Amino acid sequence: MFFRELFARQIRYVVLRWFETFPDVAKGEDVDLLVADEDLGKLEPLFSGSRTLLACDAYSVSGLPGSAFRKMAYYPPHLAEQLIRQAVWYKDLYRVPNVRDHFLSLAYHAIYHKGYRSGLASNYGKGGKLARRPDHDYKRALTELAAKLSIELPIDLDSLDEYLAAEGWRPPSDMLALLAVRNHWIHDRFFREAFPVPPQHRGIAVFLVRERAVHLELDSQLESEFESRGFRVLATTLLSPEDRARVACRLRGGNWRQGPSPCSGGLPARVFVVWDPRPLTVPLLTKSNHPLLDNLRVRRVKKQVRAHMLRGISSSQTFNPLHSSDNAFQAWEYLEVLMPKQINDLRNLVESLHGNLSDRPRQLSAA
């Protein structure tokens, strides 16, 4: 039996949902597995040349090639790891989420993977956007789980999203942007209008130098590069190896692979926090391709600095050395993860800069 093989091979996994009727699986349905990154290789032989009738989708914690969801992690990796770590045995046959994780992960799936296709109501779903025949009865399943947990909550997309946000289960804005490409509810909820940022907190951006660039010491002159292109560097810090792994799980949907480049740039390793006293308006054509961008200078400078960093690197060894936030809202969201102990000082500093643009900011020391 498939699940006995998982146990015998010591594969860390969790069956995500619709497991109550196993081993019977309805025609056209499949088993959704979340698997630990380090155990994905153990799983592959079970499908190679297999004649089993069990249809299975396997997703890895960090969205490794061949086990990703639309080129990203299925859940934010730290939440995916939690699902596997806290899984419980069901019928003594296979591992499933505990009741709380089951509710949260199923709500996540309904909201951020399915959206209107879940059939759940929404104030944004006017004009026939809701699916009349969703593939599963998400409302019933979530209502039953909520009752077990004594959670009193309207089972609709908007209310569930607010609940997941309060529980730390809403995806970060950069991951939402990727999901919004095929999820119209996410677009309608988050991207119809710009993310609200108080005027005194605007103009900020975060640049992340990746490990390979730091290893090659390509970041040594970046402060002057940013300053010469109109930014004021407010803070910079080198992330510890532990922080690099932690941060990578929480930004960009956990996807720090090589992309179209021949080589991978690695995890985020160094942080530059910058402020632009005179942000540039984003032209409509650029906005259509980069809807989250709120300052054209950020995109321009990122391209210029990338090119500067890669001078002398052969085409066969090129990589993406630099990532940036797309807008001020996202920058502050990044800083909650990257530099939580300094974020209040940074807010105060940006407020003072807005109050007196002629003053040159003091630079914060690294945490």
Q: How far apart are CA 295 and CA 202, in angstroms?
A: 10
Q: How far apart are CA 28 and CA 119, in angstroms?
A: 19
Task: Provide the 10 A C-beta neighbour count for residue 339.
Answer: 21
Cβ–Cβ < 8 Å for 351, 328:
no
Fold that domain 201-355 belongs to in CATH: Alpha-Beta Plaits (3.30.70)
Asked whether the CA dihedral 101, 104, 110, 113 is positive or negative, the reply is: negative
Three-class SS state of 19: coil
**Residue 193, CB half-sphere, CA atoms under 13 Å: how many?**
3
Q: How far apart are CA 78 and CA 120, in angstroms?
A: 27
**In the chain, which segments carry CATH 3.30.70?**
201-355
Phi, psi of 165 (to 5 degrees): -60, -45
**Residue 276, CB half-sphere, CA atoms under 13 Å: how many?**
24
Cβ–Cβ < 8 Å for 99, 50:
no
pLDDT, averaged in runs of 10, over the chain (367 residues):
88 94 71 94 76 74 88 90 96 95 98 96 80 89 98 97 96 87 91 82 97 96 95 97 90 80 94 96 88 92 96 94 95 95 96 75 48
Cβ–Cβ < 8 Å for 105, 97:
yes
The pLDDT of residue 48 is 61
Cβ–Cβ < 8 Å for 142, 151:
no
Q: Tell the burial category of 166 from Cβ atoms under 10 Å away from its Cβ (0-12, 13-18, 19+).
A: exposed
At 192-217, the pLDDT tens digits run 776 778 999 999 999 999 999 999 99
- Pull the structure tokens for residue 81: 């790891």
Amino acid at position 28, single letter: G
Q: How far apart are CA 305 and CA 311, in angstroms?
A: 10
The pLDDT of residue 51 is 46
Question: What's the pTM?
Answer: 0.76
Cis-peptide, bond into residue 23, ω within 30° of zero: yes
Closest CA to 309 of 204, 215, 203, 232: 215
The pLDDT of residue 26 is 66
Q: How far apart are CA 261 and CA 348, in angstroms?
A: 39
